[in-house]
Amino acid sequence: MTEFGVNFFPVVDPAVKSATDYYDETLRLIERAESLGFTQAQTVEHYFTSYGGYSPDPVTLLTAAAARTTRIRLATGAVVPAFTHPVKLAGKLAMLDHISHGRLDVGFGRAFLPTEFAAFGIPMDESRARFAEGVEACRRLWTTEDLVWEGRFHRFGPVTLLPRPYQQPHPPIFVASATSAESCAAAGTAGHHLQVVPSVTSAEQLAAMLDAYRAAWDAAGHDPAARRVQIKYTCYLSGDADEARSQGEIYERNYIQHMAAAVAPLATGKSADYPGYDKFLEKAKNYDFASSLAADKVLAGDPDGVTGQIRAIRERFGEDLSFSLQFNPGGLAYATAEAAMELFAAEVMPEFGEAA
């Protein structure tokens, strides 16, 4: 049985939709997603720009969602350890784990926007080391009493975190990886789960990332049945395939334009921890929606078409995938997003063992 969740990445200008309206609509959609049988809801951590800037603290939004729901799992996709002291981050997440009665999945990410690192006063070249230290410090804080931490970036203790997590020994840990097979392999070795975004990498590179992750997981002796691989897509769905594709082209171009503006500083310099990221701007300039759709980097069409895309993705990248779908990109109207979710639950989910 394939699991389907919903995700929320606010690529939207305040002039198009206010923060209040975005949050209200997102929380309503999470409630609706639970009633329709979606298994997880998640959001990101970004700052300052219209590329994700409405979500500077995933924990706050997910806490509000926890109060409105009872079954759907709530995931950070992802929080950034480099920007928060591990004692604070571990404590916030443990609180959410309790408030949700153990429905939390914790996705950690490295971050990649130069403006964010500059604002926090953190060199981008430290991102990989800060990520690794932050994830492990949170894990140890959740599981160890009288912890003494002597890291490269943080030193503290002895401390015993309160509250201890609701889930024992700790909430499921996911690692978000955009392009790095090395990061995927490290996650597999550590026994962490994986979040990937196919829109920012080639199919060949994504396949290599997933192969590296699964091989490292197996080599470390972890139970293959316990492994969770989550893949994220934007989904434009309508009974009229042409209408869905037309929406997709509008809002995918909106996404690419905002991403290009956010990563533009990378075009003037390179970071050792981000090889190839200077090419994002070039990719954005050459973006073509039809090519992206043909390569299954975005889901768009009627139920039969989207069902076919998901089948092809599973065949290419693995039967163990779960899907996290964004139905409300940019300034898309609430009613349109809700209708797409309802149609997906009624006509696509049952093809993969889910029923609305």
Two tokens, residue 4: 């389907």
- d(CA 169, CA 296) in angstroms, rounded, equals 37
Question: What is the CA 78 to chain-centroid distance, rounded?
Answer: 5
Residue 92's closest CA among 60, 128, 136?
Answer: 60
pLDDT in tens, the chain (356 residues): 899 999 999 999 999 999 999 999 999 999 999 999 999 999 999 999 999 999 999 999 999 999 999 999 999 999 999 999 999 999 999 999 999 999 999 999 999 898 999 999 999 999 999 999 999 999 999 999 999 999 999 999 999 999 999 999 999 999 998 778 888 999 999 999 999 999 878 899 999 999 999 999 999 999 999 999 999 999 999 999 999 999 999 999 898 888 888 877 766 656 666 666 666 666 666 788 999 999 999 999 999 999 999 999 999 999 999 999 999 998 899 999 999 999 999 999 999 985 44
Contacts of 69 (CB under 8 A, 6+ apart): 30, 31, 34, 41, 103
- d(CA 243, CA 17) in angstroms, rounded, equals 22
Query: What b/e readout covers 209-235, taking b as 16+ CB neighbours within 10 angstroms?
Result: bbebbbebbeeeebeeeebebbbbbbb
